[in-house]
Amino acid sequence: MTTLKNGEGVGTPWPAADPFSTEQRNPCAVTRSLAGLPPPVNPLLKKRAARQGFTLIELLVVIAIIAILVAILMPVFAQARERARAASCFSNMRQLGMAAVMYAQDYDDHYVPPCLHPNMDASRPALALWFQLIQPYVKNWDTIKCPSHGGAQGAHGVVGSYGYICLGTSDDPNDPNFVGLPWIGTLGSIHRAAEMIMIGEIPVAGCRVCPFYHTHAPMLHGWARPVQLRHFKGANFVFYDGHSKWMNYDQTLQPRNMWKNLP
């Protein structure tokens, strides 16, 4: 057994030389906080924190990339939206076409006329227009509004986007204003019902959708309006057999002019 002599070990810290730092000796944060020390710091994190976030250049690069992505994707989204609207317009047209077929069935094969006047006197105000005549068969006023257009107030204060085909102003098939349709007639008087336009897209709910080559002045009853190509440089059309189709303008003229009731 050894005994300390007086003065031995006094004034010397124990252990004499501590080879560990405070952090290494006491790594647990809880223990450290109990001991009143700050939590341990990961030296790797310490280095990153010193950078203080992103630099301006990095931010600008990120913003530029986002801007490019948006520029690429926006037309894609816009096209998808327009495709949906065109499909909804087509669905409207389909319903109008089916309603027109039902109208003809109820009226002894007479197709729906653009309008009806007292005693067939066009100088007197119209009693009803085509969209009012077929409305009982559709029972939905929204069907005469094209979603890409929204509808505008037309004849009889009705808001819509579609027009009945112009009846023309000439009996000469070579005249640009020839259409060859009687005001009131039967489906039997249409030479090729599946290739004869009945309803097209115009800026209001009205009579008389015209091809671009019509040269006549606005009509006495029902403003004549050129067809509007709202959907991908084309438009939806209803034909006299009741079917609907999207076509570009050239397809309405070639190989067959679908604005003329010709054999």
> Whole-number minimum distance, CB 160 to Zn ion, in Å?
11
Q: Which is nearer to Zn ion, 134 or 210 (CB)?
A: 210
Q: Which amino acid is at 192?
A: R
Contacts to Zn ion by CB under 5 A: 89, 115, 126, 146, 166, 201, 210, 214, 221, 224, 230
Q: Which is nearer to Zn ion, 90 or 137 (CB)?
A: 90
Q: Which is nearer to Zn ion, 39 or 150 (CB)?
A: 150
Q: Which is nearer to Zn ion, 26 or 88 (CB)?
A: 88
The DSSP call for residue 237 is E
> Whole-number minimum distance, CB 49 to Zn ion, in Å?
59
> Whole-number minimum distance, CB 241 to Zn ion, in Å?
20
Residues 181, 258: contact at Cβ < 8 Å? Answer: no
Q: Which is nearer to Zn ion, 11 or 218 (CB)?
A: 218
> Whole-number minimum distance, CB 58 to Zn ion, in Å?
47
Q: What angle do CA 199, 200, 205 make, to 5 degrees?
A: 85
Rounded Cα distance, 130 and 139, in Å? 14
Question: At 42, is the secondary structure helix, strand, or coil?
Answer: coil
Rounded Cα distance, 26 and 16, in Å? 19
Q: Which amino acid is at 225?
A: R
> Whole-number minimum distance, CB 81 to Zn ion, in Å?
13
CA-to-CA dists, residue 211 to 41, 119, 189, 197, 262, angstroms: 79, 29, 21, 10, 16
CA 183 to the chain's CA centroid:
35
